[in-house]
Structure 1
Amino acid sequence: RVWFRVGCLSFGGPAGQIALLHREVVDERNWVSDARFLHALNFCMLLPGPEATQLATYLGWLLHGVKGGLAAGLLFVLPGAAFMLALSLVYATLGEVPLVAALFFGLKCAVLVLVIEALLRVAKRALKGAVPWILAVAAFAALFLLKLPFPLVVLGAAAIGFCLPAAFASNGHGKAGDERPALLDALLAREPDRIARLTGAARRAGLLTLVFWVWPTALLMAEGGLFGDIAWFFSKMAVVTVGGAYAVLAYVAQEAVGHYQWLTPGQMLAGLGLAETTPGPLILVLEFVGTMGGYAWGGVVGGVLGALLTLWVTFAPCFAWIFLGAPYVERLHDQARLKGALAGVTAAVVGVIANLALWFGLRVLFGEVREIPLGPLLLDLPVPASLDPAAAGLAMLATLCLFGLRLGLVRTLGVTALAGLAVRLALG
């Protein structure tokens, strides 16, 4: 139930989804400690694929083994995938749907506030000492000002942490004032061999997932045609998407529009808009591409088949990486240099979330954002005249609901969604 709730409410790209996961499993339910959460997040940031989905899978595996990992990962993805499939087919059949766009308009504004809240909360707990703060600021500058590749920033932070583990030794993430340990910590204290017992099943599940990913892909490629192209293309994306969807969107657009001609540039932009305003990982934009390619081949049935195939070859590897890698990462949890490397990634993650929050905020609040070169820097600056008063007002409403009235996440999202719908309908 909890993972399904998270899947239904996970708007706002990776920053919003990670913030929601942290609120649910750390702050509200105390299932895992900050230290475990960030340890898992650091590992997921180094993997190809959608990090929030992998984080949910990792946490589910820690709590309930392979079944828990599968349940958490699937329930995190399936609500958004179902939304995206339905909206993609509606779009392919009817074109734009203003009512749906109006409903999700308010949600985006609320997610912006949620991301900022998560940034402040994680920074307070994760940045202990001068070096982590410097690394967080450097990561933000590298991404926002220099536009360096995300994998380079994360790997650089990991290398610094590996070389300087003592600088991060005090960078604990636990809740020092808590009297009650997190559920997972209590389980590990009661069952010291828990990770070892979970490892065998995780390894078997990971290998089985790899087989059922590679085998159908190879068969479809040998057969050729549209579905062979979809299987091969999106399998490649599953392996190279380190840094999330934004890292590969340009390449996806170029190949899907220019080479395969599955959709037009305008349709690609519409798909990105749907992915940004529906729950689930932003990488679900690939599902839209697969749906449109299949729809052009065989109508609604072709669209559904294209979507299902895209989802399988995109997300099956995510489960494999977690089930194969997480047990070994957990075994090395107390190794000093590895802890230093992952703590370095933790510090960089604060800068990453800040960059995502600013990127997302500029595009929610302003209709036009320009890239301005300034020497070696490339600044994203909004055009002041393009400020959307409705978006700004809804963001302030979400701030009031979340911080002032303390309505909680679900009520805040509901209030802003209905307010956004009312505003868009009133303005026509």
Structure 2
Amino acid sequence: MARHPGDVVPLREAVRTWFAISLQTFGGPAGQIAVMQHKLVDEKRWIGQQRFLHALNYCMLLPGPEAQQLAIYVGWLLNGTLGGLIAGILFVLPGAIALLALSALYVGAGSTAVVTGLFAGLAPAVIAIVVQAVHRVGTRALHHPALVAIAVASFVALTGFRVPFPAVIVVAGLLGWLLGRRFPQIARGKAHGAAADGPPPLISDDALHHDAPSTARGAKVLALGLVLWFTPVAIAALVFSRESVFVDQGLFFSGAAVVTFGGAYAVLSYVAHQAVNVFGWLKAGEMVRGLALAETTPGPLIMVVQFVAFVGAYRNPGSLDPWVAAVLASLLVTWVTFVPCFLFIFLGAPYVERLRNNHHLTAALTGITATVVGVIANLAVFFALHNLFDRSRRLTWGPVDVDVPVLSSWDPVAFAITAVAVALIFGLKWSTLRTLGACALLGLASLLVT
């Protein structure tokens, strides 16, 4: 029987706490999870370390930004459905507002000398940040030679053979499951390197909100979630026609939302390829600029899809004013990207214990986590190709299909700033935000010199 959410944490205090957390969620999922752990486990002591990790492990089974889903899940534990909604919305709201403003600034002033100089520094810095993500995820995930093989094979499949991203994820999950049957230890490991202990919570596990799982409840949550998820896309189709940029973006990013295992970096190579080469919403080099903007704002990095939608709709507004189209598309894509997170948590939370103790499911997740390393490495190659060189060419030979740089088109400034960013991140251990700021200043300085 569900407990009343008010019996756990006063809602007003919970809102203040989630708002405070939302303003500190820089640095990707690892940093965001660390902020929540410090605030909720160490400082407030509303939830114990084991319970926090239990929720995190469940969120890692799901597509989408695990940090936001963790916020929704813990909010649900503390204050029921309303608490989950508040925590999830506040987690993305500051970043969504900030990135909307930055996207407008980019579109409105993207050709000015100052903005050009800033991006000349930010884009190379992002390459170093993505390389850091490869290192971080690889260190945590590749604890067995078979997992290293999956990561390498995923990278080769994506980079050299253009295998579709969803297919790579499915195969990786199957391989993880098969390996788990042969090597049971392959599915063992700590999530995000977090400690297993912590201060004792002020609230017992028994007092936390919970619902008894049932088919009727699940059907209601699923039906309501799907209606909320797709109604804006259906309205766009009725008002603007099926061929409008709003419907294309709504459907594409709805699909992307259910294959984003491993966080934003893992899916961005897929999004970048489709947005640039299939739909033509962006130019190749603009994807890394959008990620640079997303890196400077709080919230999940997958928020970069908001930038993609804004720029794409501004350039393909149909009968609307370009600015109106850009804002509408930005809001629509933000909606279809994050509504599934709420659906996954509210639908699956009652079954979390059963899922968490399922060894086969954990093994499949381990395979997916391993392939994420290869996917992020593919993203690093994509960014490097389009930002360190002015031109590239496509080579095809049988099943091999790969883009290679035109070496004579190399950009010495971009190479130099990338080297500085690598030194700052790996050598001096600077934070993401601090590194981006330093590289942006270097980009401005290079503009003044030239």
The TM-score normalised by the length of structure 2 is 0.72
Partner SS state of residue 367, structure 1: coil
Contact 1:234 1:310 in 2 (8 A): yes
Partner SS state of residue 380, structure 1: strand
Match of 1:247 in 2: 270
CA RMSD of aligned residues (A): 4.0
Match of 1:191 in 2: 205
Unaligned runs of 5+ in 1: 11-19, 45-50, 258-264
Distance in 1 separating the partners of 2:201 and 2:222: 24
Distance in 2 separating the partners of 1:194 and 1:203: 23
Q: 1:129 aligns with which of 125, 139, 144?
A: 144
- Are 1:381 and 2:404 an aligned pair? yes
- Are 1:417 and 2:440 an aligned pair? yes
Match of 1:238 in 2: 253
Partner SS state of residue 189, structure 2: coil
Contact 2:305 2:334 in 1 (8 A): no
Match of 2:71 in 1: 60
Match of 1:21 in 2: 29
Q: Which has the higher helix share?
A: 1
- Are 1:74 and 2:82 an aligned pair? no
Give the AA of the match of 2:167.
L
The TM-score normalised by the length of structure 1 is 0.75
Contact 2:285 2:386 in 1 (8 A): no
- Are 1:211 and 2:227 an aligned pair? yes
Contact 2:244 2:318 in 1 (8 A): no
Deviation track 1:295-333 (CA, whole Å, cap 9, x = no partner) reads 852364455445434543454445434543466456401
Unaligned runs of 5+ in 2: 1-19, 42-48, 77-83, 261-266, 295-300
Give the AA of the match of 1:283.
V
Cα distance, 1:154 vs structure 2: 0.7
Q: 1:344 aligns with which of 335, 357, 367?
A: 367
Contact 2:142 2:370 in 1 (8 A): yes
- Are 1:403 and 2:422 an aligned pair? no
Task: State which drifts further: 169-178 or 156-165.
Answer: 169-178
Partner SS state of residue 379, structure 1: strand
Cα distance, 1:269 vs structure 2: 6.2
Q: 1:364 aligns with which of 373, 377, 387?
A: 387
Cα distance, 1:34 vs structure 2: 8.6
Cα distance, 1:379 vs structure 2: 3.0
Match of 2:135 in 1: 120
Distance in 2 separating the partners of 1:357 and 1:189: 43
Partner SS state of residue 415, structure 1: helix
Distance in 1 separating the partners of 2:228 and 2:165: 30
Contact 1:161 1:345 in 2 (8 A): yes
Distance in 2 separating the partners of 1:252 and 1:187: 46
Deviation track 1:321-361 (CA, whole Å, cap 9, x = no partner) reads 45434664564012011011111111111111122122222
Match of 2:11 in 1: none
Deviation track 1:39-69 (CA, whole Å, cap 9, x = no partner) reads 634521xxxxxx4xx3332121233331222
Match of 2:10 in 1: none
How many residues are aligned here?
393
Change in 2 beyond 3 A, CA 1:70/1:130: same
Cα distance, 1:420 vs structure 2: 1.2
- Are 1:146 and 2:168 an aligned pair? no
- Are 1:169 and 2:161 an aligned pair? no
Contact 1:139 1:348 in 2 (8 A): yes
Give the AA of the match of 1:123.
G
Partner SS state of residue 320, structure 2: helix
Partner SS state of residue 147, structure 1: coil
Partner SS state of residue 190, structure 2: coil
Task: State which drifts further: 271-280 or 247-256.
Answer: 247-256
Partner SS state of residue 148, structure 1: coil
Partner SS state of residue 96, structure 1: coil
